[in-house]
Structures are given as structure tokens and as C-alpha cells.
Amino acid sequence: MTPDLNLTPDAGWGIPIALIGAVFLALGAQFQHAGVVKVDNDSEARGLNIRQLLALLRRPSWVIGTVLLGLAIVFQLTSLTLAPITVVQPLGAVGLIVTAIVNARVSKVKLDPKSIRAIAFCVGGVAIFVSVAAFTTHSKPITESELTLILAILGGVILLFALGIVFLRKRFNAIAYIVSGGILFGFVASLAKVVIDRVKTLFDEKFQTGHIEWLTIGCLGLLICAALLGSYFVQSAYANGPPDLVVAGLTVIDPVIAIIIGISILGEASTAPLWAFPAFLVAAGLAIYGVFQLAKHHPQSQH
């Protein structure tokens, strides 16, 4: 028996919208990287300081990149209103291909076969993940207990990373910043999906009394904190590695975290057949392996 595609017609539109967002992500990353490189003149520091962060606001390339990333977020959030997070979130990996092509032309540094193979692992792993998710996952309303659990975990993660900035910043390298940013943005994607669904519920029920509560406000607050801290990690990653490595890490680690939350807490794969779970693990393993191989072999990687 042929499995049915587990997407509604509206959810199907989430896929092309997410792909457009991935292109904006790729272009935004390239422009932001160009701006960060121009202000990062401290060869000893591993992460950007406050002076450098403020200097970014005066770099036209960084501002343009920020606008493009803003558009990417708009398209991503739109796709999340239409389709399960397990389907649309991994599609950002398409941005990796665009970034690799654009960066190779801009930097005039040709990717070697090992780097190309690493990118293929990233994109291939994500493609398998999306294919399995499209047939086996579905969106469902989040309960207050599930949301409370996500917020508690995120609060601990934010505290842990904030302490890392204070005490371990000089020991961080590109891959450490990328992994940290990817984890935080995985939570951001999950919470954005939650906020969107709750706002949609408010509209559907015509803002009946009692539907705006502190838990939703707390969700939005932690989402903003995670996005700001994650953005710092991403900008510092640009200062320590090429843009396609940064995009590779984010477009793999970000959706892996979001999908782990979607499957383990939100129950988006509650009706999935048993074979889907080892398929998810294999696909995620291939993609993550590709990220670390790209960090190791990319011609522009800084060691």
C-alpha cells in the first residue's frame, strides 16, 4: 500500500514558502558575513565584543543582510502557520547550496571534493528527514504542560550559554558558536510555532476572555531572549568561519533540535510507524556528520 502524504492542501503551500525563505537566508548570511569580517579586527578574540557589535550597525552589507534575514524569518513563520515544523523547518538546508555557490563566487575560493561531499551529506540527510516527516508527522495543539516543559528546558539552556559567554568565550571556535546558535534557534522555531498557533486560536475564538495568559507572554519573552543570544552566536560564528559552514550548521542543528522537540514533546510523530524513527536518526546522523566534515575540510575554515 502506498503511504498517503500527511499534508493538507494549505500545508502543502508551506513547503515552497519555506524554500523562498531559505534563499533569503542564504543571501542574508553572505551579506552579514561580509559585514562581520570588516569589523572583526581582533585576531585574539574568539567572539565579538560590544564595540564590534555596535560597529555592525554602520556596515551597509551587514544591514542589508539583516533585512534579508528578516524576510527569511517572515517566510519561515508563514510556512510554520501552514505546515508541521518537522516538514518545513529542515527545508532551510536548501539555503546551504545557495550559500556555497554564492560564497565560492564572492570569495573566489573553490570548494574541494571533500567539502562538496560534506555539503551533500548535509543536504541529503535533511532531504531524507523531510521526506519521512512529510508522510508521518502532523501538527497538533500544544498543551500547557508541554509548553511549560519547553520553557523550563529553554530557560536552563539560555542560562548555560550565558555563563559560557562569560567564562568560556575565548575558547569558543566556529563550530562551538554554530552549535550553540543552532540549538537556540531550534527552540526559537518551536516557540514561534507555539505562539503562532495560540494567536490563531485567539482569532478563531474571537478573543474570548481568558485566552491571553502569562504562559503565552512568557513564551514570547523567552523566544526573544533565545533569538537575541542565538544571533550573537551566529555573528560570532561569521567572525570565525565561512558563511556556508555557518549556514550548514544552522540548517542542520536548528531543525534537528526543533524536530526533537516536535517529536518528543509536541507529539507531531505520535501516529508515525515504527520504521520512521530509525529513519529520522539515520537522516539526522548523516546531516550532522556533514556539518563536522565541512568544518574540517572547508578551504576557508579557521582552525
- CA-nearest of 151, 125, 103 to 265 is 151
Predicted local confidence at residue 155, as pLDDT:
92
Comparison of pLDDT for 240 and 207, the residue scoring more: 240
The structural domains of the chain, with segments of one domain joined by +, span 9-297
Residue 18 contacts by C-beta under 8 Å, 6 or more apart in sequence?
Answer: 75, 76, 79, 83, 88, 89, 91, 92
Task: Report the chain's mean pLDDT, rounded to a whole number.
Answer: 80
Comparison of pLDDT for 45 and 48, the residue scoring more: 48
Q: Supply the pTM of this predicted model.
A: 0.78
Question: C-alpha grid cell for residue 237?
Answer: 560564528
Kindly tell me the sign of the dihedral angle through the C-alpha atoms of 93, 97, 103, 104.
positive
Question: Which tens digits make up the pLDDT trace of 71-88?
Answer: 988 888 888 777 776 677
Classify each residue of 275-294 as buried b or exposed e, where b means 16 or more C-beta atoms within 10 Å of its C-beta: ebeebbeebbebbbebbbbb
d(CA 128, CA 10): 22
| Whether the Cβ atoms of residue 47 and residue 172 lie closer than 8 Å to each other | yes
| Whether the Cβ atoms of residue 171 and residue 44 lie closer than 8 Å to each other | no
- Packing angle between helix 9-39 and helix 60-82, nearest 10 degrees? 160
If you count DSSP H runs as helices and E runs as strands, how many of each does the chain have, helices first?
11, 0
Q: How confident is the model at residue 156 (pLDDT cuts 50, 70, 90)?
A: very high
Predicted local confidence at residue 86, as pLDDT:
65
Predicted local confidence at residue 2, as pLDDT:
43
